[in-house]
Structure 1
């Protein structure tokens, strides 16, 4: 592993600190019962996270910033598949091919903001550390 890149080969025991942006009420539910897979999204089913606090701080997009909460977590990423272009053949089927996490690298053209995104299939791979205030950001792009 070097810099911001995930190791997509070899060591599947890596853990990373990541962030999940949500509402106060959803944060309380997550703290009580743990994360649950979303029904879908850009990468299909899973729990959407980012190692970039700024990215997580933008969610939910349609909610006032002062009502947002960010959950800080530690994730055992397992086997990671980089989804680095629009219409990637494994964009929504990465888990069916044996991957535990899908990773959208920064500045690859998949998200407007250019910030990285991750989708973790199994919520059991995620350990909650804390809730924190969102990091202020300057651009409305997601």
Structure 2
């Protein structure tokens, strides 16, 4: 069965900006996404996000502005059991980490930064898509969840089969 990730994302909450491809501006609030399993999503909805113990950018909450990227997570997990959590994030003070081995790649949070951003196509992420890491989960407000919808199968004349 095939799935699609339907979303109406045209109406943004007041004071929230669309991240786009440009770097996030410090102090702004953006719409972002977090891909996870249905069970983990229930836990996050009940108790909020928790900082990971590690990752490419060290500990934090990993997010992206790209719904397609978020919908791939967890990788190698069945699509029907995935959920994307849509959030608004006040990014605070942002650092750009644009290459592997950046001197603050895993310790940026100890230098006064609230978020780290990996630009698209900089060679750090295999997919070429951007990545965000937020140190303090209190900067993240959950808006809602997006679940994959089965794509109806149609015959040659538009009849479902």
Deviations along 1:50-80, one digit per CA (max 9) or x if unpaired, are 0011111111012011110000000000000
Residue 107 (structure 2) aligns with: 93
Which residue is 2:132 aligned to? 118
SS at match of 1:113: coil
**Structure 1 residue aligned with 2:39:** 25
- Count of aligned residue pairs for this structure pair: 133
Candidates 140, 143, 155, aligned match of 1:129: 143
Partner of 1:66: 80
Aligned partners of 2:19, 2:53: CA distance in 1, in Å?
32
Which consecutive aligned stretches of 4+ in structure 1 deviate over 4 angstroms post-superposition? Answer: none
Corresponding position of 2:22: 5
Question: Structure 1: which 5+ residue stretches go unaligned?
Answer: 136-142
Q: Which residue of 1 aligns with 2:159?
A: none
SS in 2 for 1:81: strand
Change in CA separation of 1:19 and 1:122 when aligned onto 2, cut-off 3 Å: same
Secondary structure of the 1:21 match is: strand
Measure, in 2, the Cα distance between the counterparts of 1:95 and 1:63: 30
Counterpart of 1:140?
A: none
TM-score scaled to structure 1, two decimals? 0.88
State the match for 1:138 in structure 2: none
Contact 1:54 1:134 (8 Å CA) reproduced? no
Q: Does 1:16 align with 2:16?
A: no
Which moves more between the two structures, 60-69 or 41-50? 60-69
Structure 2, unpaired ranges of 5+: 1-17, 150-161
Q: TM-score, normalised by structure 2?
A: 0.78
